[in-house]
Amino acid sequence: MSQASEFEPLFVEEIPRNFEPGKLYISIEYTTVAHLCACGCGNEVVTPLHPARWTLTYDGERVSLWPSVGSWNLPCRSHYVIKRNKVQWARPWSDETSCVNPPRG
Ligand SMILES: [Zn+2]
């Protein structure tokens, strides 16, 4: 398993049962985007598309997902942004949210 630096967008009707690393599955039908965590841990990350949740931008070739994907419920605690297919690593989730959430423990 290796860290993904880029995702290839795949427009699908239904999100497949098994994900391939480096693929970003986009289901307009189910307004959902799903991918394997970019850190390579193999966990599935599902981001529902909704004005109050995640927004997908497609320029005809590349996709951007906003806001950042924060896998705070996964052991890896990965936090990154997918911008024009590229993975941009962000600060650890705990730092990012420390201003709105009190630190744990
Ligand atoms: Zn991960």
What is the whole-number distance in angstroms between the Cα of residue 47 and the centre of ligand 1? 14
pLDDT at residue 105 in the model: 46
Decide if pLDDT at 76 tops 50.
Answer: yes
Structural contact between residues 64 and 82, judged by C-beta atoms closer than 8 angstroms: yes
What is the whole-number distance in angstroms between the Cα of residue 73 and the centre of ligand 1? 10
What is the whole-number distance in angstroms between the Cα of residue 19 and the centre of ligand 1? 14
> Alpha-carbon distance 98 to 68, whole Å?
16
Using DSSP bridges, classify how beta strands 8-11 and 23-27 pair: parallel, antiparallel or unpaired.
Answer: parallel
Tell me which of 43 and 92 has the higher pLDDT. Answer: 43
What is the whole-number distance in angstroms between the Cα of residue 61 and the centre of ligand 1? 25
Q: What is the pTM of this model?
A: 0.84
